[in-house]
A and B are shown apart, each in its own frame.
Chain A
Amino acid sequence: AQTVTQSQPEMSVQEAETVTLSCTYDTSESDYYLFWYKQPPSRQMILVIRQEAYKQQNATENRFSVNFQKAAKSFSLKISDSQLGDAAMYFCAYRPPVYNQGGKLIFGQGTELSVKP
């Protein structure tokens, strides 16, 4: 079964500093997609960044970047220059190919990030 594990229930970072959130997953597929979602108190699920497994280059979106280690099945999120608005719950998610269960998203348990001013 495909699973996603986030081993850090809570993390804290000082404003303007850098923080890394960890995620590991388990799959037998070679082609898949990985995502990080942000859920602020408004509860809206916001896509932060995505990575295709066939791409070796790590994805980057402004202050957000990932470290994708396919062999290790690891997908960490780095937030640089942390801002107060980054405080939220962060979910790592795995998406298999469409032929596998419709490509449904499988989520980790989440990491609650707090940002200290």
Chain B
Amino acid sequence: DAGVIQSPRHEVTEMGQEVTLRCKPISGHDYLFWYRQTMMRGLELLIYFNNNVPIDDSGMPEDRFSAKMPNASFSTLKIQPSEPRDSAVYFCASRDRGPYGYTFGSGTRLTVV
């Protein structure tokens, strides 16, 4: 298994542009999580899905952020319009129903200038 795959690895965009981050979870994993990592706030959960259904999006900072999971093998996190304060590393993680099993992707470093 190739693990959790995120793309792109780096993204630099101008303020006001739309940004889409992508994630392919591990096959068979029921849960998918999006985390954001910043120096100020550390690792914070944005949203998670169970069986492709969004369960808790209370961590999504603003309406500019949206996430979808159209099928079990793909999820996106979209920011529209992007702002400099959105600059961070965004991680996707998936796990199965078992007690452990979190696997993280390599993250996307987003820079909004």
Which A residues contact B (CB, under 8 angstroms)?
Answer: 33, 35, 42-45, 47, 50, 52, 91, 95, 98, 101-110
Q: What would 22 A/B residue contacts be, using CB atoms closer than 8 Å? A: A35-B102, A43-B106, A43-B107, A44-B104, A44-B106, A45-B93, A45-B107, A47-B102, A91-B43, A102-B48, A102-B50, A102-B55, A103-B31, A104-B45, A104-B48, A104-B56, A105-B45, A105-B102, A107-B42, A108-B42, A109-B42, A110-B42
Task: Using CB atoms, name the residue of chain B closest to A35.
Answer: B102
Asked if A33 contacts B99 (CB within 8 A), the reply is yes
Q: Give A101 to B57 CA distance when docked, in angstroms.
A: 11
Interface centre among A35, A44, A104, A108 (most CB of B within 10 A): A104
- List, in ascending order, chain B residues with CB within 8 A of A43's CB: 89, 106-107, 109
B45: which A residues are within 8 A, CB to CB? 104-106
| CA gap between A33 and B98 in the complex, in Å | 11
Complex: how many Å from CA A50 to CA B91? 20
Dominant secondary structure of chain B at its interface with chain A = strand
| A43 CA / B99 CA spacing, docked (Å) | 24
Most chain B CB within 10 A, of A52, A101, A105, A107, is at A105
Q: B interface, how many residues as a size bin?
A: 20 to 34
B55 touches A50 (CB 8 A): no
In Å, the complex CA distance between A103 and B93 comes to 13
Interface residues of B in 11-39 (CB under 8 A from A): 31, 33
Establish whether residues A102 and B56, one from each chain, have CB atoms under 8 Å apart when the complex forms.
yes
7 additional A-B pairs beyond A43-B107, A98-B97, beta carbons within 8 Å, are A42-B106, A43-B106, A44-B107, A101-B56, A102-B48, A103-B95, A104-B33
In chain B, positions 57-84 with a C-beta closer than 8 Å to chain A are none
On whether A45 and B33 interact (CB within 8 A), knowing A33-B100, A98-B97, A102-B48, the answer reads no
Q: For residue A52, which residues in chain B have a CB less than 8 angstroms away from its CB? A: 99
Task: Kindly provide the distance from the CB of A106 to the nearest chain B CB, expressed in whole angstroms.
Answer: 8
Partner of B104, one of A45, A95, A101: A45
Contact with A along B4-15 (1 / 0, CB 8 A): 000000000000
